């Protein structure tokens, strides 16, 4: 039930710290060792390439998963939109392994790809929130998100759970493959840091409400920009904001704006910039200057090390590879307040269903 909450979306945003703790309990044993079904690890460790397929928010979680898997396991990983692969199957490596990310486990676009995968006898894993769901039954293996029921149409806690479970997989697989990065990685600690950081962010939600009221609710359009993992989160932040607030929002790789889209920036256009990547932080600050000088209202969501301006929304410190878990929380809150303060039905945006069972 919603309890004292007006909308499920906020309840589900607030539940994210406890989802991180649940994932930690589920996937680590009492000695602190990562715990994933050995059959899954055995099967993926034979792969020369991992293919992640998903839709919507789950696709965005897959983009972060690719970075985690490649960094900690060294296995090249591709991410694709399920709807684009079902009828134009990607070119395969010799030993592919498929991962399906799906909160509901019922998404028709993903089911079509899995059917093709099964026809070709390629091993597969479904990472889902729903035990016994169709994609779980039809794949060889399942890992559960342990996020609890997600009711709001806009996915929030399932996104962060998908990133955390992919991190678990990357850790277990990287250790099995004897990768130094994976062996030296204290993921259990990082999940605890993520839970604490999320708690700080949800506790300071009033600040995001003020920003949404000041810069977003009267705007027709908005942009999210970022590089690296922040680009993946920019896509998710944009989807979240547009689907619940109806403010047309695009997520962009920060440097791409100047290749065309910057012509859309006018006085007062909100641009939300995300900065966590040490390699590109200064460059993104430069891109911010470019839009500010064209009149944009800039909202910056930045890692602790990159805070510079007094109005930066500052994220608690975390391993860059896990930063999406924190960066997305202010983005979710901005979407929530933009929708609610426009008087919209936050949990049931027009034209949308919770699970999309048609192609």
Q: What CA–CA distances, in Å, run from 137 to 51, 105, 130, 142, 164?
A: 19, 9, 11, 8, 22
Q: Which is nearer to ligand M6R, 104 or 269 (CB)?
A: 104
User: In 3D, which of 201, 170, 153, 165 has the Cα closest to residue 57?
Assistant: 153
Secondary structure element (H or E) that encloses residue 27, with its range: helix 16-27
Q: Which is nearer to ligand M6R, 287 or 332 (CB)?
A: 332
Structure tokens at 317: 């410190």
Cα–Cα distance, 231 to 69 (Å, whole number): 17
Residue 13 as a binder of ligand M6R (CB under 6 A): the answer is: no
SS3 label, residue 31 = coil
Residue 355 as a binder of ligand M6R (CB under 6 A): the answer is: yes
Residue 136 as a binder of ligand M6R (CB under 6 A): the answer is: no
354 is catalytic: yes
Residue 142 as a binder of ligand M6R (CB under 6 A): the answer is: no
Q: Which is nearer to ligand M6R, 243 or 277 (CB)?
A: 243
Residue closest to ligand M6R when measured from CB atoms = 56
Q: Which of 44, 64, 85, 153 binds ligand M6R (CB under 6 A)?
A: 153
User: In 3D, which of 319, 332, 25 has the Cα closest to residue 194?
Assistant: 319
CB of 101 to ligand M6R, least distance (A): 7
Q: Which is nearer to ligand M6R, 264 or 352 (CB)?
A: 352
Residue 57 as a binder of ligand M6R (CB under 6 A): the answer is: yes
CB of 303 to ligand M6R, least distance (A): 24
Q: Which is nearer to ligand M6R, 153 or 338 (CB)?
A: 153
CB of 109 to ligand M6R, least distance (A): 8
CB of 53 to ligand M6R, least distance (A): 10
CB of 355 to ligand M6R, least distance (A): 5
Residue 102 as a binder of ligand M6R (CB under 6 A): the answer is: yes
Secondary structure element (H or E) that encloses residue 102, with its range: strand 96-102
Q: Which is nearer to ligand M6R, 107 or 160 (CB)?
A: 107
Cα–Cα distance, 63 to 53 (Å, whole number): 10
Of the candidates 304, 342, 348, 354, the residue annotated as catalytic is 354
Total binding residues toward ligand M6R, as defined by CB under 6 A: 16
Cα–Cα distance, 302 to 187 (Å, whole number): 22
Residue 145 as a binder of ligand M6R (CB under 6 A): the answer is: no
User: Are 13 and 202 spatial neighbours (Cβ–Cβ below 8 Å)?
Assistant: yes
* Distance, CA of 300 to chain centre: 18
User: Are 306 and 294 spatial neighbours (Cβ–Cβ below 8 Å)?
Assistant: no
Q: What CA–CA distances, in Å, run from 162 to 46, 88, 257, 271?
A: 23, 26, 29, 27
Question: Among 25-33, 104-112, 119-127, 339-347, which window interacts with ligand M6R (CB under 6 A)?
Answer: 104-112
CB of 27 to ligand M6R, least distance (A): 20
Residue 55 as a binder of ligand M6R (CB under 6 A): the answer is: yes
What region does 132 belong to: left with phi over 0, alpha with psi -120 to 50, or beta? left
Q: Which is nearer to ligand M6R, 110 or 276 (CB)?
A: 110
Interface mask toward ligand M6R for 242-261; x: CB under 6 A = -x------------------
Residue 356 as a binder of ligand M6R (CB under 6 A): the answer is: yes
Interface residues with ligand M6R (CB under 6 A)? 55-58, 102-104, 107, 110, 153-155, 243, 352, 355-356
Active site residues: 354
């Amino acid at each position: 039930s919603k309890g004292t909450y007006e909308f499920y979306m906020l309840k589900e945003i607030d539940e994210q710290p406890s989802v991180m703790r649940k994932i930690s309990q589920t996937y680590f044993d009492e000695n602190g060792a990562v715990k994933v079904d050995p059959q899954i690890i055995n099967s993926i460790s034979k792969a020369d390439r991992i293919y992640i397929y998903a839709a919507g928010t789950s696709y965005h979680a897959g983009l972060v998963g690719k970075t985690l898997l490649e960094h900690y396991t060294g296995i090249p990983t591709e991410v694709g939109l399920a709807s684009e692969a079902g009828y134009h199957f990607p070119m395969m490596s010799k030993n592919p392994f498929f991962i399906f990310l799906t909160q509901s486990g019922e998404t028709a676009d993903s089911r079509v790809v899995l059917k093709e995968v099964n026809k070709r006898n390629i091993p597969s894993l479904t990472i889902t929130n729903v035990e016994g769901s169709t994609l779980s039954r039809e794949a060889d293996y399942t890992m559960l998100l342990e996020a609890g029921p997600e009711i709001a149409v806009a996915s929030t806690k399932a996104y962060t759970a998908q990133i955390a479970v992919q991190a678990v997989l990357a850790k277990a697989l990287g250790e099995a493959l004897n990768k130094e990065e994976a062996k030296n990685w204290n993921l259990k600690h990082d999940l605890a840091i993520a839970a604490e950081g999320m708690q700080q962010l949800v506790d300071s939600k009033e600040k995001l409400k003020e920003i949404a009221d000041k810069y977003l609710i009267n705007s027709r359009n908005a942009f999210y920009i970022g590089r690296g993992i922040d680009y993946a989160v920019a896509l998710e932040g944009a989807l979240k904001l547009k689907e619940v607030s109806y403010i047309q929002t695009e997520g962009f790789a920060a440097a791409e704006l100047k290749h065309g889209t910057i012509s859309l920036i006018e006085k007062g256009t909100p641009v939300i910039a995300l900065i966590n990547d040490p390699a590109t932080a200064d460059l993104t600050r430069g891109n911010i200057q470019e839009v500010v000088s064209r009149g944009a209202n800039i909202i910056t969501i930045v890692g602790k090390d990159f805070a510079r301006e007094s109005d930066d929304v500052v994220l608690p410190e975390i391993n860059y590879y896990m930063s999406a878990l924190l960066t997305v929380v202010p983005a979710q809150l901005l979407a929530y307040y933009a929708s609610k303060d426009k008087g919209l039905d936050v949990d049931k945006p027009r034209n949308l269903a919770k699970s999309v069972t048609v192609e």
